[in-house]
Chains A and B, each alone.
Chain A
Amino acid sequence: MRPVDPRLLRYAAAARSFFLIGGGVALLQTAATVAFAYLVTQLIVRAIAGEQLPALAGPLAALGGVVVLRFVLAWASEASALRGAAVVKSQLRTRVLDAITRLGPGWLAARNSTAVGVTTGPGLDALDTYFARYLPQLVLTAVAMPIVVVVIWWQDWISGLTVALTLPLIPVFMILIGWATQSVQQKQWEKLTRLSTAFLDVVGGLSTLTVYGRQHRQAGRIRQVTEEYRGETMRVLRISFLSGFALELAASLSVALVAVSIGVRLIDGSLGLGVGLFVLLLAPEAFLPIRNVGAQFHAAADGIAAAEEVFAIIGAGAGAGAGASAGADVGLGGGVASAGVSDAQGARGGRSGRGGLRIADLTVRYGDTVALDGFSAEVPAGAVTALSGPSGSGKTSLVNALLGFVPHDGRILLGDGDGDGDGGGRAVTDGAGRAWLAWAGQQPKLISGPVAGNVTLGDTAPDAVLARAALDLVGGSDISLETVVDPSGGGLSGGQAQRVSNARAVYRARRLDCPVIVFDEPTSALDAVAEERFTAGLHELADEGRAVLVVSHRRAVIDAADREITLEPAHSGLHVDVDVDVVVDGAVT
């Protein structure tokens, strides 16, 4: 870890002003410390010289003032540090959420959203020590140490030299011992990790162990693993505690050297008591801030390590943030962006522009993996088109490309067009928003609150009648709009939650008059009866003049569609220019 992580300054603008305030307070604190030492010395020296209390009232009153000043400064420094830490943390949280939103759902889908939640939530709390304790002490060190050393030098250059020579030893020793600790830790890294997670593994798997009647045998294993863990950890601690030892030794030994040297020179009369006592009181103050830095160093480094992930997300977000106007703009695909001028009005649909959706030469890549390879298809208005294919053939990638959640090459065209290639139709760009598209995903993902709020999500003026009709259309007549759901779907059965999610897409399609509606595995949690009711609803949507695309592996859904598109798995890494889209006009229903 570097003493100050430059990324923190870059990403948290508040950190800068917080640095300045901290520096100002530190300066005043150092002055108060020097004044305190000076006044205490003066009082003792003058009392020994025979002055009585009334004559010393001045310095005593001044000392009282300094004591009160130190109290105020100590409070100000703590308060500003803690407040600064809170401000910086919320700034970082805002920035990381901005970055995630900019990177979009496609980016998030490739990660564990719970882990990202921990990173941005409690993970950032680990920075508290860094900002509230470590950084202020670092600032204080930078301000106080030189001032105190200069004052000591000015009073007595021999003591000044002693302190100045000892101080640099501290960071040198700490770095050396840090390396040693690291190498010991690395040597046993795997063993330590295994030992530290072993107890968690036993407790976490307790129910599985109980199923197999193995729960009673674990106590001995826990004891043995923990003993082993203790031995290994102590071996590391023996080295890592050396850094604290070096720190304390350097600080106290240099104070001792200063004291003895002053003592000897006082005896031969080459130094006055006033100077000697003053220097003695100041010497520990030169070491105090750096000792505190050392004490907070590991906690601060842990905080930075915990924030590493956050920096990575913000960095990635900054890279993707070229045009962040319309929410998750990750459509880096050159093909789409250059295919046509964005036409929000046209893309919004309206009966005039009806003509269905055309997908031309669409390719989606995740790194080296080609998820969808030059896919072309037509999803005509007024019909239900089923999209099927084995797991991994790119069905969800296609949907994500339509949503603009993943970068892609190729064209997505809306409206009439004849012939293939660049016929008619408007290119759908991310810039036009997603007003042309209504979508229901694989997971219901309901928002906490009543069903009504879920069905009318994103609508600032919800229409209850339309919401009821949407629910009825997808076979959700038995679901009340007033039922309250929690995020995990509590309050509804799995099948009900899926129907609410389907109704949400229907509501949007009708409310915004979207020309295209897409369902991704909409019946996975529905039984045969509910599935049939749902497919009947699909045709109603098609009859309204919409292009209906339903991704499903269910025979019943595919058979009920007007047309079927089958996707074959893409050959990863190879761009084979073969017609992978087999458009079959299924003449069912």
Chain B
Amino acid sequence: MNRREVVRLAQPRLRRFLPGVLLGLVSALCAVGLLATAAWLITRAAEQPPILYLSAAMVGVRAFALGRAAFRYLERLTGHDAAFATLPELRVGVYERLVPVAPDGLGGSRRGDLLSRLVADVDEQQNVPLRVVQPLVVSGLTALAVVVVVSVLLPAAGLILGIGLVLAAVLGTALNSRVSGRAERELAGLRGAYQAELADYLGSLDVLVAYGADAEARGRLAEAHHALTRASVRRSLGSALTTALVTLISGGVTLGILAVGIPQLQPGGAGGGAGGFDGPVLALVALVPMAVFEVFAMVPLAWGAWRQVAASADRIAAVVPDVVPAEIPVDGPGAVRPAPARGEAVRLRVRDLSARWPGASGDSPALAPVSFDLGPGDRVLVRGASGAGKTTLAHALVRFLEHGGRYELNGADVREYPADAVRSVVGLCEQRPYLFDDDIRQNLLFAKDTADDAELEAVLDRVGLGEWMRERGGLSARVGERGSLVSGGQAQRIALARALLAGFPVLVLDEPTANVDPDRADALLADLLSAAAGEDRAVLLISHTPVPDELVTSTVTLVAAH
């Protein structure tokens, strides 16, 4: 995706968007009208005409005051509603672009927070209509309308006001983004550096304290923070200057209009000759710019919002690739073979299988060619140092990653099956199983939606969680946001329970003990293996924790590719 595509998804259709803009315009014009009418009213009243002459203006002043607040309220409601209305399309649009490449083809880093940031970025796009387009359109149209009216009353004043507004717009947008934009890019780097230092410090505090190295680490941290603070103050000074310059221009416009307006003044007389440039009109053209510039203050804000929205859109675009990378499997026209029927034996034959992550650099492990067979009843242990490509192998087996070499499923090349069909028989328990923010039941049911509670309880008993589930209050107990109420070992057991429910004939367990206390790891591995083992199931266990020989039928050792 690119920025334009993302922003277009976020911008509501004109029919939905227009009411908000119109209401905003009316509200802004009311604000200007309030001051203009009041100034005219007072100056004209000083000429002491019959009160009848001024009753319209008096009603107008009150109406403008009410209108300004009421229309502004309606504008905000309508605008938010329109922005929200695009959110479903935006979210679904981004989601549907994620699905074909997920999980391994998503651009950027493979860090866990990538997706939560993506979600925040998608929701940030609501600000495109709300804080960028609508304020720009409203303030632009208001400014234009006032310039036209002032030009009719006094052309020179209209010219001054127009020049002032253009100048303020340029200063508030282009100059500001030149000054702040550059500093912001620098800031992003410094902020990241500080955040990394901070995470390092907090993560290793026990080691640092135990080794008396905490003071030195604090020194490094303070340095990073100092650089960050200095840069952010510099950025702030730049943006403060542009804000102040707009104030200067606003005052200058009032001064200029007075200077050109006063010599043009024609004595009005008590009768109030209409049409001439008299006192009340002078007051109007001299004071109206103040109200216009107040409305116009939305422009720099909108510009700042635009920079944020654009950065978010760029991040979304970077995550969702335009072209599916070569390393991500795409179902070809020949991928038509139906998945093996339920109960049919499934055999995998892997010869010189190699794989790598998209955009692989030094830190992404590549898998060196590996060969093995996997059939019902087999329990194969895959060992290897970190970096040898253990997880890469797991992802290639479930067709998250494309592979080199041969990978056959029941004698046919795995590419002859749709990827979903392969995954219906080759299951994966991930290193960090995802638990949905729901109850235990829902976290199991999506693996087999026809299962009843008795079946769910039976499978939990089998993975050693029956007692735990009953203690927690049954299947309706929640697992907490992202499984926050569940330990690493319990998460692995839930993941296995899901896989057992789905009844995968081939099951890949990827480092089940990676997030488990060492003194529980050995017992967990033994429990998982014995629960997963079965005459008609093949298990491939990937582990860096040593596994007793009697639990596995064979062992494959991976060697790092580089």
Contacts and interface: CB of A to CB of B under 8 A. Distances in A.
A504 B199 CA distance: 21
B91 A199 contact: yes
Interface string B467-488: 0000000000000011000000
B258 interface: yes
B434 A40 contact: no
A43 B434 contact: no
A437 to B, nearest CB: 8
A229 B49 CA distance: 57
Contacts of A448: 200
A230 B91 CA distance: 13
Nearest to B89: A223
Interface residues of A, number: 142
Interface centre among A75, A227, A233, A405 (most CB of B within 10 A): A75
B38 A391 contact: no
B211 A457 contact: yes
B286 to A, nearest CB: 6
Contact of B518 (A108, A122, A521): A521
Contact of B66 (A82, A237, A249): A249
Nearest to A125: B191
Contact of B434 (A97, A204, A259): A204
A83 B517 contact: no
A277 B72 contact: no
A589 interface: no
Given A78-B244, A447-B200, A101 B205 contact: yes
A214 interface: yes
B81 A259 contact: no
Contacts of B349: none
B84 to A, nearest CB: 4
Contact of A252 (B69, B92, B200, B363): B69
Contact of A82 (B210, B233, B383): B233
B99 to A, nearest CB: 5
Interface string B50-67: 010010011001101110
Given A121-B195, A248-B69, A70 B247 contact: yes
Interface in A223-274: 223, 226-227, 229-230, 233-234, 237-238, 241-242, 244-245, 248-249, 252-253, 255-257, 259-260, 262-264, 266-269, 272-273
Contacts of B248: 67-68, 70-71
Contacts of B561: none
A301 interface: no
B99 A40 contact: no
A510 to B, nearest CB: 14
Interface in A160-213: 194, 197, 199-213
Interface string B195-212: 110111111111111111
B430 A276 contact: no
B39 A204 contact: no
A206 B103 contact: yes
Given A90-B229, A226-B91, A244 B206 contact: no
A104 interface: yes
A259 B217 CA distance: 64
A494 B244 contact: no
Contacts of A426: none
Contacts of B96: 219
Interface in B347-404: 363, 383, 385-388, 398, 400
A63 interface: yes
Greatest chain B CB density within 10 A among A114, A120, A212, A245 is at: A212
Contacts of B433: 208
Interface in B390-443: 398, 400, 420, 423-424, 427-428, 430, 433-434, 436-438
Contact of B43 (A48, A60, A214, A442): A48
Nearest to A220: B92
Contacts of B116: 200, 204
A327 interface: yes
Contacts of A457: 207-208, 211, 213
A214 B446 contact: yes
A322 interface: no
B195 A122 contact: yes
Given A40-B254, A434-B210, A60 B99 contact: no
B430 A50 contact: no
Interface residues on B, range: 35 or more
Contacts of B225: 90, 93
A524 B521 contact: yes
A222 B92 contact: yes
Contact of A79 (B236, B386, B522): B236
Contacts of B209: 101, 104-105, 327-328, 403, 405
Interface stretch (B15-23, B134-142, B261-269, B458-466): B261-269
B283 A445 contact: no
Given A248-B68, A391-B519, A504-B211, A75 B240 contact: yes
A142 interface: no
- Specify which of A100, A229, A238, A458 lies most central, judged by the most chain B CB atoms within 10 Å of its CB: A458
Interface in A418-448: 433-434, 437, 439, 441-442, 445-448
A211 B398 contact: yes
Nearest to A520: B518
A117 B38 contact: no
Contact of B87 (A47, A68, A213, A226): A226
Interface string B22-54: 000000000100110111011101101101001
A407 to B, nearest CB: 15
B199 A493 contact: no
A496 interface: yes
Nearest to B80: A237
Contacts of B254: 40, 63, 67
Given A44-B279, A97-B218, A202-B95, A267 B267 contact: no
Contacts of A259: 37-38, 41-42, 61
11 contacts: A71-B251, A75-B244, A78-B240, A226-B88, A234-B80, A249-B65, A255-B38, A259-B42, A327-B209, A447-B200, A487-B199
Given A74-B243, A253-B69, 5 more contacts: A44-B283, A60-B255, A199-B119, A219-B95, A226-B91
Interface of B: 31, 34-35, 37-39, 41-43, 45-46, 48-49, 51, 54, 57-58, 61-62, 64-66, 68-70, 72-73, 76-77, 80-81, 84-85, 87-88, 91-92, 95-96, 98-99, 102-103, 115-116, 118-119, 122-123, 194-196, 198-214, 217-218, 221-222, 225-226, 229, 232-233, 236-237, 239-241, 243-245, 247-248, 251-252, 254-255, 258-259, 261-263, 265, 267-268, 279, 282-283, 286-287, 363, 383, 385-388, 398, 400, 420, 423-424, 427-428, 430, 433-434, 436-438, 446-447, 481-482, 498, 502, 517-522, 544-546
A-B pairs, top 3 by smallest CB distance, nearest first, are A67-B251, A524-B518, A105-B206
